[in-house]
Amino acid sequence: MNKIRGLDKKFVIYEANRLLCSVGGVLLYAIGVNLFIVPQGLYTGGIMGLCQVIRTVLAEYMGLSFHNFDIAGLIYYVVNIPLFVVAIKKLGRIFFAKTIICVTAMSFFLFIVYIPSVPIMDDTLASGLIGGILCGAGIGLCLKMGSSDGGTDILGVLLIRWKKDFSVGKVTLIVNVVLYLICLFLFDVQTVIYSLIYAAVTSFAVDKVYSQNINVEVNIITKNACEEMEQEIFTKLERGITKWKALGAYTDNNAEVLYMVISKYEIGRLKYIIRKYDPNAFVVINEGVNVSGNFLKKL
């Protein structure tokens, strides 16, 4: 019992460290937006970009004053509430809890990070590039740590569960098309062009930090396979396992081979579970496999 409690404590510490990194990624995103994007009058992509447009309409077209505070983060939080209500039963408990924390942290950081009245850099293009790198790295780090900043990520997962050929990328593309058409109508072509450059750089940075579409196949050869390990994989990763008996040609000892296909970012958690039950397990990982059939897409 003490051993199990100790292992649970280690898992809590492991997830807590990942959550801290996710919050750090959210802070990096807020710095990129408030220091480099907002002062230049540019608009980020996704749901956040739509929230920035709403903020601009309220401030400039409806004459509402917010005393030099950017309320886009607050609007973003309000918009995510119905998504959370719908998604609460569709997402894993740990992922859902971490996402709520990250969205809350993002709204808080966007509110407190100072927005310069004069852009830090005179060059709009340079600001967009630097802001895109910072924001993309922040989002990528958040996703890599098994969290999400909400918005199109949550919407994408919900649509994937409804229709398998959807993806987070497709949802983001649709939202961005709507967003920049609105920007083209309300603002000028130059604003749209620079915002598109920012969005492209952000996507590139996200892909460099976090490869959400890379699937891997995992072969686990273990002599200590047990139902507890399999159940933990089922519950914490929500992944299926195919297994068969094996025989070591050199040792002539019995073993089991567990076969899985998972997303690349799930490797760390899978290794943690395996080492928890069998530190000597032999794990073989192959990247970039093509999967068709009943495979659950995740963030």
Q: Reduced to 3 states, what is the DSSP secondary structure of residue 104?
A: helix
**What pLDDT, on the 0 to 100 scale, is given for residue 1?**
43
A 10 A CB-CB count for 126 gives: 14
**What pLDDT, on the 0 to 100 scale, is given for residue 168?**
60
Identify the residue with better confidence: 199 or 288: 199
First-last CA distance in the chain: 34
Indicate the pLDDT class of residue 181, thresholds 50, 70 and 90: confident
Q: How far apart are CA 142 and CA 32, in angstroms?
A: 15
Q: Reduced to 3 states, what is the DSSP secondary structure of residue 258?
A: strand
Closest by Cα among 247, 238, 237 to 273: 237
What integer best gives the mean pLDDT of the chain? 80
What does the pLDDT look like over 84-139, one tens digit per residue?
A: 877 776 666 777 788 889 889 988 998 888 888 888 888 999 999 999 999 888 88
What does the pLDDT look like over 280-293, one tens digit per residue?
A: 888 898 876 777 66
What does the pLDDT look like over 1-52, one tens digit per residue?
A: 444 444 467 778 878 888 899 899 999 999 999 999 988 888 888 888 888 8
> Which pTM value belongs to this model?
0.71
Least confident of 75-84, 144-153, 196-205, 238-247: 144-153
Would you list the domain boundaries of the chain? Answer: 2-209, 215-287
**Ranges of H-type helices in the chain:** 2-32, 46-56, 72-87, 93-112, 124-144, 152-162, 168-186, 189-209, 227-237, 267-277
Identify the residue with better confidence: 124 or 148: 124
**Checking phi first, is residue 85 left (phi over 0); if not, alpha (psi -120 to 50) or beta?**
alpha
* CATH of span 215-287: 3.30.70.120
Beta pairing class for 215-222 and 242-247 = unpaired
Query: Does residue 248 register a pLDDT over 70?
Result: yes
Q: How far apart are CA 142 and CA 120, in angstroms?
A: 26
Indicate the pLDDT class of residue 63, thresholds 50, 70 and 90: low
Q: How far apart are CA 99 and CA 105, in angstroms?
A: 10
